[in-house]
Amino acid sequence: MRPRLATRPRSDLTLSARRRRAGCLFSLPGLVFLGLFLAYPLLYTVWTSVHDVGLRQLLGDGAPFNGLANYRATVSDPDFWHAVRLTAVFTLGSLLFQFVIGFALALLFVRPFPLNGLLRSLVLLAWLLPPVVSGTLFRWMLDEIGVYNALLRGMGLGTLTNDWLTDPSTALGGVVFANVWVGVPFNMLLLLVGLHTIDPQLHEAAALDGAGAWQRFRWITLPLMRPISVTVLLLGLVYTFKVFDVIFVMTGGGPVDATSVLSLYVYEVFFRFFRFGEGAAAGLLLLLVPLLVGVLYVLRLRREGEAA
């Protein structure tokens, strides 16, 4: 006689099916939102990038398929590579100073002292302000009659004053300065959380063994902070690579394209020259670096989860 296979009770199957249906229903609003505001715009951008879409075609005329012509036109445009170089300088400069200053502030605020919480809250204000507001403030401060030139004159350094955002040699440094101010609180906050996870007894034991402050920082703090540091840098790269609002408010890409990073290049191709096909191709090329970094970040999180 053949043994009978164990079967789940009918009530359990019904309950499992109900839970699956309930899960699908609860997920439906999120899926609709992602479809309308993420999937559809992305697919439409891909479609636009392989068609000859100008202002006339956008208003109703048919847009002929042109394959990779928009991509070839984009990568053969000297202005595109100029924007790539500016984006690299802007991103690396912002990341370097944001991380170093944020780490220094995190090391400061990890120790208890009077008014610690108040000062930490004041630092976070730069992160809470909308980027447009921050860009406007720095545009005023870096103006020829702004705060920084007034400080230089007050210290007797009037010969160093400059109209920082209209000088092509200093405009990019000015927008990097503003973006560093915006990003430092985010770096500080995440790094501060990481510092709180380090066991203080490790530093105490190292101090008893004769290790100085620099040795404890180099051999204990830095190695233990490596995972959170990599995460902070990856997230900062994704955000900084596509910064638009701060630069647009401060300089609009000028003077003489001195601050025309990739995000502003895409904007100008779209809304100044109305070359929508090329603009879509440039936008997708701009998306490649954050997308690659995002994939690496997700893979890193998955590896850390498996190791744990």
> pLDDT (tens digit, 9 = 90+) per residue, 111-127?
888 888 888 888 888 88
pTM of the model as a whole: 0.86
CB atoms within 10 A of CB 244: 15
CA distance 123 to 120: 5
Q: For a pLDDT cut of 90, what percent of the chain falls above it?
A: 38
Contact (CB, 8 A) for 295 and 233 = no
The pLDDT of residue 157 is 84
Specify the pLDDT at position 78. 93
CA distance 123 to 103: 13
**Closest-CA residue to 240 (of 175, 160, 308, 306):** 175
Distances (CA, A) of 98 to 143, 154, 191, 235: 23, 28, 11, 12
Q: Is the peptide bond before 255 cis (omega within 30 degrees of 0)?
A: yes
Give the pLDDT score at 99: 95
The more confidently predicted of residues 7 and 248 is: 248
CA dist., res. 65 & res. 49, Å (int) = 9
pLDDT of residue 140: 93
Domains and CATH numbers, the chain: 88-273 (1.10.3720.10)
For residues 220 and 214, give the distance between their C-alpha atoms in angstroms, rounded to a whole number: 10
Lookup: tokens for 152: 């230089």
Using the predicted structure, report yes or no on whether residue 300 has a pLDDT greater than 90: no
Looking at the DSSP bridge assignments, the partners of residue 65 are 51
CA distance 84 to 260: 9
> What is the tens place of the pLDDT at every residue in 30-47?
888 888 888 888 898 899
What is the DSSP-derived secondary structure letter of residue 180?
Answer: H
Helix (H, G, I), strand (E, B) or coil at 175: helix
Quote the pLDDT of residue 107: 92
**Residue whose token pair is 């595109």:** 80
Q: Return mean pLDDT, the chain.
A: 86
pLDDT value at position 103? 95
pLDDT at residue 7 greater than cutoff 80? no
Other beta carbons within 10 Å of 178: 28
